[in-house]
Amino acid sequence: MELKFRKEDNATVLELSGRLDTSNYESFSEELFAKLEAGDKYIVMDMENLEYISSSGLRVFLSALKQVRATDGDIALCCMSEKINEVFEISGFSSLFKVFVSITDAIAE
Amino acid sequence: MRDYFLNIPEEVALLSVDENGDLHPKMNSPKFDIIIASAVLMDLALHHRIDTDMHNVIPDKLEPLGDPILDVIIEEVKEYGGTRPIQEWISDLSMKGQFLRDEIIKSVVDLGILKVENKKVLWMFSKRVYPMVNDQEVKEVRARIRDLVFSDDIPDYKDIVIISLLKHADLLDLVFTDVEISDYEHRIAQIAKMDMIGLAIGDSMDKFKISDIKSYFSGEEKTPEEMLDIHVKELKEKFRITNDANLPAWLRKGTDQYAKTLDFVREKNTADITYNHRTQEYQVNSYDFNGHGFGSGS
């Protein structure tokens, strides 16, 4: 999986691509939590090119959301493919996050 | 030595003990094997020994946890070696239901949370009960689950799986009143589906065909081979195993272990038995948690 961070307004946009699974959830978690520890409170996950997510990946999302909400921040999800959206819908995770169809909408929120 | 006090199957078992030391009747059902099996898988996921997606269990870090119950299963995942459908793992582990129940109760007794007592019923019959010695842990679990459901908090993974297990086992009344279950139905359902194994339990339960297992094993006019054939057939049907290669060695014809199983069936005149992978001993199923760890059944 490839991770790219960039700043847009007061949000940190995180581009995820490829597979988020057993082989890389730890490094994903480390990088994401490093941003949270550094004080980034508004995270936008750009998931347009994310192809697969396992439960371990979902759990990183859950832990990060818990931490960021404790500091009045938030995590928004955007641009999910049909397949990834299905995972978030079936598992009920989409009810925890704000989900947007475009980066612009997510950042505006 | 494990670095946590209670594992998930132990927490669920403790929740089911009432103030008299009686276990909830639903926990004595063979159907509850699916719940125990799922609890074990969820605990392995919690400790990153396995990962899951919508369909499969994927091996992760397969080092032992120092937990006798979970380590046996970690070894099995290691032996299996690759990705496997969640349903198949639930089926496979459900067949070890009696072993897992006995180990869970033994473990919480060893931890000093429950004790074992024989209680007289109607002045004649003896019944095994498990009075709580230290109810601090179970009070904490119950309070934690209630607080989560009554709030909008983001759940921890451990609480997700406990709520999922209680819901699928129809044991929410261990933690909530009927009114609370009704009032918070949506919140409970929302949390319960946040785990892939939890989603698979629902499927397993829906397709589970309950036939009174005991009725199959009366043994009248049947040879040990016939009794064992019926037992294996029943387990295959119950856990939807279509390939004999997926049966454990003790139930798979042609293995040395199968011959030993047959000897035990012959000796006990019943095929309603299970095999304890840790002690490598057979026992007759008891369905009342009075298992091998406490000296009955074998």
Question: Does the structure show a pLDDT above 50 at B268?
Answer: yes
Å between B63 CA and nearest CA of chain A: 15
Helix (H), strand (E) at residue B12: helix B8-15
Q: How many domains does chain A have?
A: 1
Closest CA to B227 of B290, B271, B261, B268: B271
More confident residue, A103 or B294: A103
Q: What's the rounded mean pLDDT across residues B160-174?
A: 92
pLDDT > 70 in chain A, percent: 100
Question: Does the structure show a pLDDT above 90 at B230?
Answer: no
- Three-class HEC string of B50-109: EEECCCEEEECCCCCCCCHHHHHHHHHHHHHCCCEEHHHHHHHHHCCHHHHHHHHHHHHH
Neighbours of B73 (CB within 10 A): 23
Helix (H), strand (E) at residue B161: helix B157-168
Q: Which range has the top average pLDDT, A82-96, B19-33, B222-236, B276-290?
A: A82-96
Å between B145 CA and nearest CA of chain A: 17
Q: What is the pLDDT of residue B208?
A: 55
The answer to whether the CB atoms of A55 and B195 lie below 8 A apart is yes
Question: Does the structure show a pLDDT above 80 at B219?
Answer: no
Provide the whole-model pTM: 0.78
pLDDT > 90 in chain B, percent: 44
Neighbours of A83 (CB within 10 A): 12
B92-125 pLDDT, tens digit per residue, is 898 888 888 889 999 999 999 999 888 776 666 6
Q: What is the pLDDT of residue A63?
A: 95
Report how far residue B135's alpha carbon sits from residue B215's, in angstroms, rounded to the nearest whole number. 37
Best probe of the A interface among B161, B164, B196, by most A CBs < 10 A, is: B196
The pLDDT mean for chain B works out to: 84
Identify the closest residue of chain B to A65 by CA–CA distance. B154
Token pair belonging to B252 = 């798979």
Give the confidence band of B62 by pLDDT, cuts at 50, 70, 90. very high
Residues near B187 by Cβ (< 8 Å), separated by ≥ 6? B149
Q: What's the rounded mean pLDDT across residues B269-285?
A: 83
Q: Is the ipTM of this complex over 0.95?
A: no
Q: What is the pLDDT of residue B199?
A: 83
Q: What is the pLDDT of residue B84?
A: 94
Q: What's the rounded mean pLDDT across residues B81-99?
A: 89
CB B173 within 8 A of CB B181: yes
The pLDDT mean for chain A works out to: 93
Q: What's the rounded mean pLDDT across residues B194-222?
A: 62
Please list, residue by residue across A37-75, b when 16 or more beta carbons sit within 10 angstroms of its beta carbon and e when fewer do: eeebbbbbbbbeebeebbbbbbbbbbbbbebbbeeebbb
Question: Does the structure show a pLDDT above 60 at B290?
Answer: no
Closest CA to A58 of B272, B228, B193, B70: B193
More confident residue, A73 or B219: A73
Q: What's the rounded mean pLDDT across residues B153-177?
A: 93
pLDDT > 70 in chain B, percent: 86
- CATH assignment of the domain containing A33: 3.30.750.24
Instruction: List the 131-160 stretch of B: residues with Cβ below 8 A of A.
Output: 154-157
Percent helix / strand / coil, chain A, rounded to 5: 45, 35, 25
Domain that holds residue A8: 2-108
DSSP assignment of B258-279 equals HHHHHHHHHHHT---EEEETTT
Q: What is the pLDDT of residue B158?
A: 92
Q: Which residues of A touch B54 (CB under 8 A)?
A: 86-87, 90
Identify the closest residue of chain A to B44 by CA–CA distance. A56
A4-46 pLDDT, tens digit per residue, is 899 988 899 999 999 999 999 999 999 999 999 999 999 999 9
Å between B287 CA and nearest CA of chain A: 33
Identify the closest residue of chain A to B56 by CA–CA distance. A54
Q: Which residues of B touch A62 (CB under 8 A)?
A: 154-155, 157, 194
The answer to whether the CB atoms of B51 and A90 lie below 8 A apart is no
Helices (H) and strands (E) in chain A, counts: 4, 5
Domains of chain B, start order: 8-208 (1.10.3630.10), 213-285 (no CATH)
Q: What is the pLDDT of residue B30?
A: 67
Give the confidence band of B273 by pLDDT, cuts at 50, 70, 90. confident
Phi and psi at A14, nearest 5°, equal -115, 115
Q: Which residues of B touch A54 (CB under 8 A)?
A: 51-53, 58
